[in-house]
Amino acid sequence: MSMKVLMLPGDGIGPEVMHEAEALLEEIAAQHSLDLQLDTALIGGAAMDATGAPLPEETLQACREADAVLLGAVGGPKWSDPNARVRPEQGLLELRKALGLFVNLRPIRVHPSLAPISPLRPEFVADVDVMVVRELTGGIYFGEKQEGDDHAVDVCSYTREEIERVVVQAAELARQRCGGLTLVDKANVLATSRLWRKVTTELMTNRYPDVPFETMLVDAASMHIVANPSRFNVLVTENLFGDILTDEASMLVGSMGMLPSASLGKDRAGLYEPIHGSAPDIAGQGIANPVGMLASVGMMFRYSLGIREVAGRIERAIWSAIADGQCTPDIGGSLTTRAAGEAVRERLGEYYIPKFAYG
C-alpha cells in the first residue's frame, strides 16, 4: 500500500532537520519494504518569498491529499514585523484549521542521561513522563479581534463540542497509559474555563469513571510543572494555556530540540512537527538538534500511518543514540545535525529498551 508523506521544511533550521527526517524515512522504507511517496512543498516565510502567501493553495491541496504531513519550522527575523498584514505563522494556523486538526499531543519525557542538564535537580525529573493534550483550533487565538490605538479586544470562545472532542482524546490516552487526567483551567475567573470544567467533569464521571481525574488552576499547574513534574500523567487544557505550559514543560528535558508533537483531527491524517521554532540564530551552522523532528516521524508512524513497530524502532534508536552520547551540542554532544541523524539511523536495528518511548 502506498502512503503519501508531505514534507514542509519551512524556515530557519527547518530544512536542516527535515533533511534528517527524509533520510530516516528513506531508510525505514528500504528496511521495511514500504511504499512511501515523499513530496515537498512551501510554507511560512519561504512560501511568502516565493508566492506572497504563507500557505499557498498548492501546498494546502498537497496537504489534503497526503496521509501525513511533516513540518520543520516557520518564521524568522526577515518576516518578524508584528504589524505586518501577512506573517509566516499565519500559514501554520491556517493549515491546522483547514485540515481540522483540533488536538495537539506533546509528550514530555527525560532521557536518564540528560537529567543532569535539566534546569531542575536530576531527582526532580528522573521519572517525568507527561503527555500534554492541547486544544488547537478554538479560544483566544481564533476569536474575534479588535485593535486600535487605545483599545484592543481578543474574544475567547468555546463550545461543548470543541471541549468534548479534546477531552475524549486525553481520557483515552490516560486510560492507555494507566494514569490520571488533570484538567488545567482558570475556572475561578474565566467563563470559558468554567465550561471546560463542567463538560470535562461530566464526561469523566459518565464515560471514564475508571480514570483518576482532577482539576487544577493554571497558575498552580505552572508551579507544579517545575516543582513536582512527575505528579502529572496526562494534562488537558485549552489553546492558550496549552501553548504556554508545553513550552514551560519542554525545558525539563534540557533542550527544546528534543521534543516532538502531533496535531490530529477526526481523520487519521495529521501534522507532525518538533516543538522548537526556526532558531534563526543557529540556522545554517549544522548544529540543530534533529531529535524532535525524528521523534515526530515516530509519532507519525504511530498515529497516522498505523505502523507501531516502526514507531517503536525509531524511538528506541533515538534513545540508544542519546545513551551513547551521539548527539548535538545542546544536549552535551559534539555531533553535527547530519551526524546525529546518521547515529539514529545506524541504530534502527538495535535491540534497546528505553525507559520511556514517545508513544
Extract the C-alpha cell encoding 223.
508551579
pLDDT over 90 (residue 354): no
Q: For the segment 178-198, what is each residue's pLDDT rounded down to a tens digit?
A: 999 999 999 999 999 999 999
Q: For the segment 9-33, what is each residue's pLDDT rounded down to a tens digit?
A: 999 999 999 999 999 999 999 999 9
Predicted pLDDT at 244: 94
Decide: residue 229, CB within 10 A, 0-12 exposed, 13-18 middle, 19+ buried. Answer: buried
Predicted pLDDT at 124: 81
Q: In 3-state terms, what secondary structure has residue 232? A: coil
> In whole angstroms, what separates CA 19 from the centre of its chain?
18
Query: What is the percent of the chain with per-residue pLDDT over 70, rounded to a whole number?
Result: 97
pLDDT over 60 (residue 117): yes
Crossing angle between the packed helical segments 308-323 and 14-32, to the nearest 10 degrees? 120
Q: Which residues are catalytic?
A: 141, 186, 219, 243, 247
Report d(CA 234, CA 321) in Å as an integer: 27
Predicted pLDDT at 126: 79
Q: In 3-state terms, what secondary structure has residue 215? A: strand
Predicted pLDDT at 241: 97
Predicted pLDDT at 350: 67
Report d(CA 197, CA 183) in Å as an integer: 7
| Mean pLDDT estimate for the chain | 93
Predicted pLDDT at 255: 86
Extract the C-alpha cell encoding 335.
555531533
Task: Decide if 348 contacts 25 (C-beta within 8 A).
Answer: no
Report d(CA 66, CA 305) in Å as an integer: 11
Report d(CA 54, CA 92) in Å as an integer: 8
Q: Which helix (H) or strand (E) holds 114?
A: none
Domain 1-108+254-359 part of CATH 3.40.718.10: yes
Q: For the segment 71-111, what is each residue's pLDDT rounded down to a tens digit?
A: 999 999 999 887 888 999 999 989 998 999 999 999 998 88
Q: Which residue has the higher pLDDT, 120 or 252?
A: 252
Predicted pLDDT at 123: 82
Residues of the chain with CATH 3.40.718.10: 1-108+254-359, 119-253
Q: Kindly list the distances between the CA atom of residue 1 and the CA atoms of 33, 197, 297, in Å, as whole numbers in the listed order.
A: 10, 43, 19
Report d(CA 298, CA 296) in Å as an integer: 5
- The arrangement of secondary structure in 119-253, i.e. its CATH architecture, is 3-Layer(aba) Sandwich (3.40)
SS3 content of the chain, % helix, strand, coil (to 5): 45, 20, 35
